[in-house]
Structure 1
Amino acid sequence: MFFRSRQVVFLVVALCALSMESVDGTAWAQGASVQSRGDAATGSSQALQHRTIFMPREAEIEQVSQSPQIPNVLDADSREALGIPPQLLDDDQSWADPGDDCVDCDAIVPLISHKQADAGVTWLPGTGDELGIFSINLSETIEVPRLEGFSVTPYFGVHYLDGPIQTDLPARVYDTSVAFRWFKKHNEKWSYELEVAPGVYSDFKNVTSDSLRITGKGLAYYVHSRSKQFVMGVVYLDRENIQMLPAAGMIMWFSEGSRLELIFPKPKYTYRIEKTEELERWAYVAGEFGGGSWGIRRGTAGFDDIATYSDLRLIGGLETKHTGGMISKLEVGFVFNRKLEYKSDIGNYDISPTGIMRYQLTF
């Protein structure tokens, strides 16, 4: 009897010990979880995965960047006006401070990543001595995540020339270039951008130093308020008739759906006419400075020369922005002050005004 009683006592003591150990373990786990949240609130530098090891699975981990973001005052067209980089607008965690905690710090950073691609066609009708141009352009913007603010954009364009009879232009000229862009966000007000884009602009018969051009730009952006932003700098065209243009002006929002860009060389007024869950539609009018320089081989004479075409454009357009990121633009307008000039000064002449139609797709 005594032996059996002693067994019962031992069994009770063992059960109590196991129960106490279970209770202590639960309390310790909960305490560690509470301490982890306290450390996170006070900005502890301990790694996130260590601090939340006992956090219940249903608890949400929220990551908030403390980096100031530039107000969202520009859209794709505004950036295009002077090549303003998308980083100005994106609520991207890449702007977070290097010391910020992250949920997946061990994720592999890709060497390159796709940012956006552009494709477009432009038609300036013309026959006889009235030069007609049909252009196709393609480009792809690639980001380099390991080099913050750096991107590369290969570009290819072909221009089919219709006429003129009184001078000897080739049937086609080409644009090929690679733009290297670096963007630096200095603080919540100031940002800077530098770009250099070496390229060959030629009929591919005259591929010499005459067809090599190095374009670029240096710009500064100042955010005055959510409704006003200033742009200043220079755009280097490296063309025979114009080497460099100033790039300066301001962008003003009158309301959420109305914007005026007083920017040289591309002023623009945009008004939103439709907004749904799937898309937004904007109508706009804009001014534009067009043209280019190409190294060519002159017809039967067979000597190398540089042809430069320039014009001014007044354009009206309709832009559709889809929630998936695709943007399409359809434009029509009037082209005037058209000139064709040669480096040799042989065959220069003024061209009559014409119209313009253009379709651009960004995806």
Structure 2
Amino acid sequence: MKFLRAFFPTFWTLGAFCLLACPFAECTAQDGGSSGPEPVPYISEIPASFVSMRNSEPMPDVSGSTVGIDEGTPGALSASASELLRQAPEHRKSFFQGFSLNQSFTSASGDAEELGLVHFGTNVLFAAPMPWDAGALILAPNFMFDHFYEMPSALKMKDSLYRAGVSLTWRKEVNEFWNVMAFISPTFSSDLENTSSDAIRLPGGGVAVWTPTPHWQFSLGVAYTGMEEWAVTPIGGFIWQPNEDWKLDCTFPKPRLCRRIEPFAGHSPFWVYLAGEFFGGTWAVDLAGRNDLATYREVRIMFGVERDRPKLGELDIKLELGIALWRKLEFEDSDEVYHPDLGFVENLIVKF
């Protein structure tokens, strides 16, 4: 019953969102993707290169953390840092660039000493050119809610944790081959009982991207994650796309092997892929009446499917299923450490 209470309400929420958004998405797709009044000239002339790279993936996927490494880009090592290295499809000619919703679930084994987790996150994406050809500034306010629907009876911690912040990303296209990016994501991460200075996390970092040919892209950088266990981590890697149907993306923290398929004639193709991902976060918590820092992490191996380059104004839906390995919950000032068993993972991302 705990499984049902934790899992299905989030899908009802996302289902309602999809039903409400689909008619609006269809209308915006028909009128060219614009909505509302005509944007002011300063914003409407954002060059495509300011908000896209030379690859072919959506940017940014802030679905599970604060700029990617937190990643949910709002607190965990998630996909967002690597997603920022990939190319956006069409961009809106306005300050508003889109928003995303993310829901994920990690199952518990049913044992009383196990951990089961439901995650919900959302972010809104804005972008604007900087003066003097200094690149683009990307602003992404975000909020994440994590709920342990199953917890060990000995764990004296609240089962609901929160993260709220804003990701600031500066991107600059140096020339045809080189792009650079720097980001910082101040985040408030707490159980709302411990609101000390430990709740303020400051993930950030920088990366350089080199695209020598249309088939190869290399990136290298470093990030401070805002997590206690992996405070500093390298980011980057390479992407190799020998043709339009295959892609090997060895970009940390979310490597993927992708295959493009067309299951329905006359409709948009899809990418199916096998991916690895680091997920987790650090929160300031009240642990049995004293302030502490809780860090949870897991390594996910997932099979996923997503649409190939949806048109501007269309919903972009990504679904991933897999397993969570090497799960761990620990505390900075306590000897308590929990190693949950392997769990089933479901991850759903809806972007518009």
Q: TM-score, normalised by structure 2?
A: 0.73
The structural deviation recorded for 1:138 is 0.5
* Among 145, 168, 177, the residue aligned to 1:180: 168
Find out whether 1:261 has 2:249 as its counterpart: yes
Partner of 2:192: 204
Instruction: Give the CA deviation at 1:272.
Output: 0.8
The equivalent of 1:312 in structure 2 is 299
The letter of the residue matching 1:188 is E
1:336 aligns with 2:325: yes
**2:66 maps to 1:82:** no
CA pair 145-345 structure 1, distance change in 2 beyond 3 A? same
Structure 1 residue matching 2:317: 3-state secondary structure: strand
Measured in 2, the distance between the counterparts of 1:257 and 1:341 equals: 42
Please give the per-residue CA displacement for 1:79-119, whole angstroms capped at 9, x wherever unaligned: 74524267x55677x9xxxxxxxxxxxxxxx9x61112010
Is 1:297 the counterpart of 2:279 in the alignment? Answer: no
Structure with bigger RCO (C-alpha 8 Å, 6+ apart): 2
Cα RMSD after superposing both structures: 2.6
What secondary structure is seen at the aligned counterpart in 1 of 2:188? strand
After superposition, the Cα gap between the structure-2 partners of 1:146 and 1:277, relative to the gap in structure 1 and judged at 3 Å, is farther
Q: Which residue of 2 aligns with 1:346?
A: 335
Deviations, residues 273-301 of structure 1 (Å, cap 9, x unaligned): 11765422110000111111000112xx3
Change in CA separation of 1:90 and 1:331 when aligned onto 2, cut-off 3 Å: closer
Unmatched segments (≥5 aa) in structure 2: 1-46, 62-79
Q: TM-score normalized by structure 1?
A: 0.71
> How far 1:153 moved relative to its partner?
0.3
1:238 is aligned to 2:220: no
> 1:167 is paired with a residue of what secondary structure?
coil
Matches within 5 A, 1:21-40: none
Aligned positions, number: 278
Partner Cα separation in structure 2 for residue 77 and residue 90 of structure 1: 8
Q: How does 1:34-73 map to 2 (within 5 A)?
A: 72-73=54-55
Quick one: distance in 2 between partners of 1:124 and 1:140? Answer: 25
Alignment of 1:144 with 2:142, yes or no, is: no
Which aligned runs of 4 or more in structure 1 are off by greater than 6 angstroms?
67-71
The alpha carbon displacement at 1:262 in A equals 1.3
What does residue 130 of structure 1 align with? Answer: 114
Kept in 1, the 8 Å contact 2:54–2:211? The answer is no
Do the aligned residues in 2 keep the contact of 1:277 with 1:323 (CA within 8 Å)? no
2:315 to 313, 326, 330: 326
Q: Structure 1 residues 345, 279: CA separation in 2 closer, same or farther (over 3 Å shift)? A: same
Please say if residues 189 and 201 of structure 2, whose CA atoms lie closer than 8 Å, have aligned partners that are also in contact.
Answer: yes
Instruction: State the alpha-carbon separation in 1 of the partners of residues 89 and 351 from structure 2.
Output: 16
Q: Classify the secondary structure of the residue corresponding to 2:198.
A: helix
| Matched residue, 1:12 | none
- The 1:276–1:208 alpha-carbon spacing in structure 2 relative to 1, beyond 3 Å, is farther
- Sequence identity of aligned pairs in percent? 26
Is the partner of 1:210 in helix, strand or coil? helix
Larger radius of gyration: 1
CA offset at residue 318 of structure 1?
1.0
| Superposed CA offset, 1:49-69 (max 9, x none) | xxxxxxxxxxxxxxxx9x999
Contact conserved, 1:278 with 1:323, CA < 8 A, in 2?
no
Contact 1:70–1:223, Cα closer than 8 Å, also in 2: no
Distance 2:328 2:53 in 1: 41
- Paired amino acid for 2:315: M
1:167 pairs with 2:151: no
Which letter maps to 1:230? F
Cα shift readout 1:36-77 (whole Å, capped 9, x = no counterpart): xxxxxxxxxxxxxxxxxxxxxxxxxxxxx9x99987433127
